[in-house]
Chain A
């Protein structure tokens, strides 16, 4: 006979809620408030002045902001899709290997062990136009005599950043999809073989639908985690040169911490949060739909 007045589920969830409120919600409210002020780090008293939606209007009218926004969405779309496809391919390849699975899986997860700033430094070094690995290799192999400016040219810089980002996160997709592949029940697969389906048909109609929930989970996880890309880009190009690789986060980071215009930076930050929320809800809905389709309760 329980004498506790609070329902059990509430007590169980309470620690989670408490810690998240303390660490995330309260600071978020603080920064939401500051986005309505002209808050500058170097003049703390500016926090108490209310200027309404000035910062949001300024962001809305700023070409720099919108081009960073657009570039960020583009980067995310390309990166997420690439990671999904490559992760899928990688998982399929690894699942067929019989010997040394465990070692192979560890190697596959290699990039996950790298801190994002380490990834940033690594690729900044590798793509360096003067002493970087890529250019040195290309020149040694005689494929080019020019020093290719990987981190300067408009398209090449975006490519380098996407490459770094994809390198860093494809493993997450791969491991989740691999788990999915192991979970697929054998019977439908064997039945398909007996019935004479080609491998492609088997894949398309049986394997893939089973994998969809895993894929959506991975997508949802990645969208949540996507701000990790900030560290990578910050180190590789910091949004430059000439704002060619400016993403929302590098813009926010610089405006807030170097220019000390925190109020404005927070306003921009909220737009980025809404974007992340949108992506997450989008994928979550898809996940629920896929689960329902497969008959799994949710």
Chain B
């Protein structure tokens, strides 16, 4: 009798595992297929993409779309390198600044008590509730008057403002996790508050900082509404704006659009993969435990 129950149980477990794997596979497919479709199409000429009846097996993959993009004006070229560089500079800088401000703010919320703490905290979060489309024109007017249109600085400031609430929140949760005794012990040993912070509390906070960082980076890298309003020329245009411009300019050039899209995704993909390890740890400790 015992053998049968064991066998039954093993059977059920295996079915369970199989079902789980199948479901996971289907879910992952749904997630990946649109992206893979884009990647595939970036290697096909637009005529094939639009072909009816549809051409399922690509007749030949080539890098034409990519080559055309890097070509000069008049051949379907777009200043891809500049868009890419702008995006990189703006996203990285705004992420770093947002993290610094986030650490300062998060520390304050975690370690100090003061009146109106909740109110200020919620207030900070709520600034994120403003949709870009409602904000972009007044922001444009203000920035035009202060000469910040079409500059890196202008856009960096905006993205920092967009990211600060979330970084503060995450890092705050994180610092709460670190027992204050550690820092106090270090201070008793002769460190100043400042030194204690960097030596003791920060290393423990690394994961939280990493996860806040990746969210901030992705937000800045992918943002479109504000960027399109606040940039004017290739001096400061970012990749999402470049993509939209490209599709406005060459509306039925799906192949080119896919190539541009792939270029946009690659850095985000690489960065995410690198930061994976810290991400879960950071979110776990920082997000919830108080």
Contact = CB atoms under 8 A, between A and B. Distances in A.
Direct contact, A vs B (beta carbon within 8 Å): yes
Nearest to B280: A179
A115 B264 contact: yes
Interface string B249-290: 000001001000100110011001100110110011101111
A285 to B, nearest CB: 10
B138 A30 contact: yes
Given A27-B139, A230-B133, 15 more contacts: A12-B108, A15-B101, A16-B101, A19-B164, A20-B164, A27-B142, A97-B24, A113-B269, A118-B261, A126-B37, A136-B54, A176-B283, A183-B289, A213-B288, A296-B288
B185 interface: no
11 contacts: A8-B112, A23-B160, A117-B224, A118-B264, A176-B287, A178-B280, A182-B284, A227-B130, A280-B126, A284-B125, A298-B290
B224 A231 contact: yes
Nearest to A8: B112
Contact of B166 (A221, A262, A273): A221
B280 A182 contact: yes
A180 interface: yes
B126 to A, nearest CB: 6
Interface residues of B, number: 88
B290 A116 contact: no
A13 B103 CA distance: 10
Main secondary structure, interface of A, reads: helix
A142 to B, nearest CB: 13
Contact of A272 (B134, B141, B261): B134
A107 B288 contact: no
Contacts of B112: 7-9
B139 A23 contact: yes
Contact of A19 (B161, B285, B290): B161
Nearest to B285: A183
Interface stretch (A56-64, A76-84, A190-198, A249-257): A249-257
B80 interface: no
Interface of A: 7-10, 12-13, 15-17, 19-20, 22-28, 30-31, 34, 41, 86, 89-90, 93-94, 96-97, 102-118, 121-123, 125-126, 130-131, 133, 136, 139-140, 167, 171, 175-176, 178-180, 182-183, 213-214, 217, 220-221, 223-225, 227, 230-231, 249, 252-253, 256-257, 262, 266, 269-270, 272-273, 276-277, 280-281, 284, 291, 296-298
Interface string B18-56: 001001100110111011011000000000011111101
Main secondary structure, interface of B, reads: helix
Interface in B125-155: 125-135, 137-139, 141-142
Interface string B106-120: 011101101000001
Nearest to A281: B122
Contact of B290 (A12, A249, A297): A297
Nearest to A183: B284
B222 interface: yes
B240 A117 contact: yes
Contacts of B34: 122-123, 126, 167
A182 B160 CA distance: 30
Contact of B128 (A175, A224, A269): A224
A30 B141 contact: yes
B124 interface: yes
Contacts of A113: 218, 222, 265, 268-269, 272
